[in-house]
Amino acid sequence: MKTHEKTSAGKELTQLMIKSYLGDFEKAQNGAFVVWIAIMVPAEIFSGFDTIVYSIPESHAAMNAGKGVGPLQCEKAENRGYSMDLCSYARIDMGSVFDQGKDSPVGGLPKPDLLISNNNNCSLLVKWFEVYQRELNIPHFIIDVPFCYASQSKKNLNYIVKQYWEMIRLIETMSGQTFHMEKVEEAVRWTGEALKHWKHFLSHANHRPSGITAFDTFVQMAPFLTMRGTKELADHYAFLAHDTQQRVEKKIFPVPEEKYRLFWDNIAPWHQLKNMSRRMASMNANIVGATYTSCIGAVEGTFQRYEYDDSDPLCSLARSMNSTVCPSGLTLRTRAMKDAIKDLGIDGVVFASNRSCKPYSLTQMDQAKMIATSMDVPTVMIDVDHADVRNYNEENVFIRIGALLEKVDEGRR
């Protein structure tokens, strides 16, 4: 099987995402209350209301980058004075908003009534949402989430839950809708179920050759962001895990002659998914996992699944605010990565130094040293920008990846 052929789960994903985006527009047109949220805001809470549509500018920006219109949208923001040094997600989405959704693959996002951001991934995100607050003249609720150098303390968890309640009361006031906790309990159950299947899907990277590539995981993470807390999400991830398992049983592998098993650190290079996966496969190299998608459904310092407690949904959702890499300190990030290297039998790590996402990239030099010295696993640093292809040089990147593979070969001699 060729790496770029769509699997059955890949085809289902396309249908699901089209339905999700179109459905949001339809609900918004029919009077639903619309919120734009940062990626980490737990969307299960919105299930507690009758009709809330939520949209995620970061996901929208990733989609634009994946469809090849990242630079076009970036330039619209840059022409309004926003620096090229700002995150490309922000520039892309602002460009789209400034141009009323023109050039977006989905025509932009439904017009929002409320903005909700958080500050544990980065502070730029809050400033980005502030631009919309001014531009659209609507309220902006910021969830203040403490940065995480160790396991989340009870005090910090309670602090986040308290803010969830403030957010719920604000939505009740603005939308006129009543909040029902039992609906959130159900949504959290579906998310827990979905994550169980997600982790099963990822576990096929343990097989030799791997049943998946990190690129599959990048593509398949989309509905986790846009359809959290739904049966459709759980059903899709169940199908994804099952479909992957069947292909492994039939000995259909993305890189059949897999010689190098690599691990990726940073956000997906959305504009390079096809190119990069093809070139890696042509070298019999497979990036079998990534911090970016392994952290989904886990909490700080580990990639193991965190079990949601649906009887106390807001606490579980507060705990999940520490699930991504950016809000974690060096020690926690390195611990999770070391475990993944051991579990997956990784030969080398590709640290993608991301010009746009400084918070993700900040610790990479230290992590690379720690991995190379304590585990004797070679690493390489490549320059990328996750959504702005103008800051990416394919040949430079592959020269470095080639050097990494040589180091792996040297270590085997």
Nearer to ligand SF4, 61 or 341 (CB): 61
Q: What is the CA radius of gyration of the chain?
A: 21
CA distances from 281 to 1, 177, 259 (A): 11, 51, 10
Nearer to ligand SF4, 117 or 286 (CB): 117
Nearer to ligand SF4, 9 or 326 (CB): 326
Nearer to ligand SF4, 129 or 215 (CB): 129
How far, in Å, CA of 295 to CA of 259, rounded?
A: 25
Our separate counts of H helices and E strands in the chain read 17, 8
Nearer to ligand SF4, 187 or 267 (CB): 267
Q: Which of 277, 406, 290 has the alpha carbon at shortest distance from 3?
A: 277
Shortest CB 128 distance to ligand SF4, Å? 7
How far, in Å, CA of 349 to CA of 345, rounded?
A: 11
Write down how long the chain is: 413
Complete DSSP assignment for 80-126: TT--TTS-HHHHHHHHHHHTTTTT-TT-S-PPPSEEEEESSS-HHHH
Shortest CB 387 distance to ligand SF4, Å? 8
How far, in Å, CA of 277 to CA of 213, rounded?
A: 8
State whether the Cα torsion 368-370-372-378 is positive or negative: negative
Extended beta strands in 195-339, E state: 260-265, 285-290
Shortest CB 115 distance to ligand SF4, Å? 14
Q: Which of 132, 118, 183 has the alpha carbon at shortest distance from 313?
A: 183
Opening angle at CA 308, ends 237 and 158, nearest 5: 140
Shortest CB 126 distance to ligand SF4, Å? 9
Nearer to ligand SF4, 253 or 270 (CB): 270
- Contact by Cβ (8 Å): 213, 255: yes
Shortest CB 145 distance to ligand SF4, Å? 12
Nearer to ligand SF4, 213 or 266 (CB): 266
Nearer to ligand SF4, 50 or 383 (CB): 383
Nearer to ligand SF4, 71 or 378 (CB): 71
Shortest CB 357 distance to ligand SF4, Å? 3
Shortest CB 39 distance to ligand SF4, Å? 7
Q: In what order do the strands lie in the sheet with 260-265?
A: 285-290, 260-265, 348-354, 379-384
CB atoms within 10 A of CB 162: 11
Shortest CB 391 distance to ligand SF4, Å? 13
Nearer to ligand SF4, 3 or 323 (CB): 323
Nearer to ligand SF4, 38 or 346 (CB): 38
Write 31-35 long-range contacts (CB < 8 A, 24+). 33/113, 33/114, 33/171, 33/174, 33/175, 33/177, 34/110, 34/111, 34/112, 34/113, 34/114, 35/112, 35/113, 35/114, 35/115, 35/116, 35/171
Shortest CB 89 distance to ligand SF4, Å? 5
Shortest CB 60 distance to ligand SF4, Å? 12
Task: For residue 37, give every residue at least 6 positions away whose Cβ sits within 8 Å of its Cβ, in sequence order, or none.
Answer: 43, 54, 55, 56, 115, 116, 117
Residues that bind ligand SF4 (CB under 6 A): 58, 87, 89, 121-122, 124-125, 267, 326, 356-357, 359-360
How far, in Å, CA of 2 to CA of 71, rounded?
A: 29
Shortest CB 41 distance to ligand SF4, Å? 13
